[in-house]
Amino acid sequence: MELVQQINTATLPQHLAIIMDGNGRWAKQKGLLRALGHESGTKSVRTTVESCAKLGVKNLTLYAFSTENWNRPKLEVDTLMKLLISSLKKEIKTLQSNNIKLNAIGNLTNLPSNVQKELQEVIQKTAENTRMTLTLALSYGAREELIQAVKKISNKVKNNIISEEAIDESIINQHLYTHNLPDVDLVIRTSGEHRISNFLLWQIAYAEFYFTDVLWPDFSEDHLYEAIISYQKRERRFGKTSEQIIP
Ligand code: IPE
Ligand code: IPE
Ligand code: MG
């Protein structure tokens, strides 16, 4: 039986988040420049996005560039920004034909203005699409996201827009970049690293984790299906006992 047939489409993760890691090592192994690893990684982005949409995943979030990634050599940062623009220009067709809405989270004002412009254009053009929301985490850091949420909330408390007593999980959710997205159900990280690297700290509170040694440019549809099959075999107890889940 093909892997995809082992997936139960009724219990898909509502929100899948992927830390796409290993482009540099993929290139190095082949004796290529890191830039070619990133370029090759864009192919995995396309197949993953299309496969998720076809399966019926409603929300896919891809970690594409972290706040810490600004510390990479300028040449690499420039390459990544150029690649982002060319991918947005090229993939708008894929997004439209698959009815996918683009969204972006992160400190977007730090991105070069041509990237911001292209991003806003694709976001606007795909705004009415309904099959899946694809969120790109760009210049994204979870700690920065929490800091800006705390600032916004404290400002509202100071101006009597909300009371301190009213601050709850829902208020915090509303002030995160991800305010319109559900909690993350499954996080996949490629390349054998077992860490979060400042990604969605609040939203992953009860997520399942799937780590694979596969480097991002080699991540195929079947690797995605394997991750989802693993997720579907798990019992998510949310603090309860197993007996409470399956009486
Ligand atoms: C992931 O691949 C892409 C980004 C972080 C932008 P890396 O560039 O981190 O690849 P490795 O970890 O060096 O192999
Ligand atoms: C995390 O990967 C960020 C992205 C995938 C965009 P990194 O390669 O930057 O993470 P660290 O530095 O190894 O933790
Ligand atoms: Mg890396």
23 in a structural domain: yes
Identify the pLDDT of residue 204: 98
Identify the pLDDT of residue 11: 98
Q: Which atom of ligand 2 is nearest to the CA of 63?
A: 6
Q: What is the dihedral of CA 196, 201, 206, 207, to 10 degrees?
A: -40
On whether the CB atoms of residues 98 and 132 are closer than 8 A, the answer is yes
Identify the pLDDT of residue 247: 82
48 in a structural domain: yes
- Strands 208-211 and 186-189, by their bridges, are parallel
3 in a structural domain: no
Q: Is 41 annotated as a binding residue?
A: no
Domain count, the chain: 1
Rounded to the nearest angstrom, the distance between the alpha carbon of 62 and the centre of ligand 2 is 12
75 in a structural domain: yes
Q: Which atom of ligand 2 is nearest to the CA of 22?
A: 8
Q: Is 21 annotated as a binding residue?
A: yes
Closest-CA residue to 227 (of 218, 219, 235)? 219
113 in a structural domain: yes
Q: 8, 21, 78, 98: which is the annotated catalytic residue?
A: 21
Decide: 24 in ligand 1 pocket, CB within 6 A. yes
Show the beta-strand stretches assigned E in 25-99.
59-66
134 in a structural domain: yes
Q: Which atom of ligand 1 is nearest to the CA of 64?
A: 6
Identify the pLDDT of residue 219: 99
Q: Is 66 annotated as a binding residue?
A: yes
Kindly give the confidence (pLDDT) of every residue in the chain, 247 residues in length, as a single tens digit, with 9 standing for 90 and above: 899 999 999 999 999 999 999 999 999 999 999 999 999 999 999 999 999 999 999 999 999 999 999 999 999 999 999 999 999 999 999 999 999 999 999 999 999 999 999 999 999 999 999 999 999 999 999 999 999 999 999 999 999 999 999 999 999 999 999 999 999 999 999 999 999 999 999 999 999 999 999 999 999 999 999 999 999 999 999 999 999 998 8
Decide: 217 in ligand 1 pocket, CB within 6 A. no
Q: What CATH number is associated with residue 24?
A: 3.40.1180.10
Q: Could you give the CA distance from residue 144 to residue 121 in angstroms, rounded to a whole number?
A: 25
Identify the pLDDT of residue 117: 98
Query: Containing domain of residue 199, as a range?
Result: 13-141+182-233
Q: Could you give the CA distance from residue 239 to residue 242 in angstroms, rounded to a whole number?
A: 9
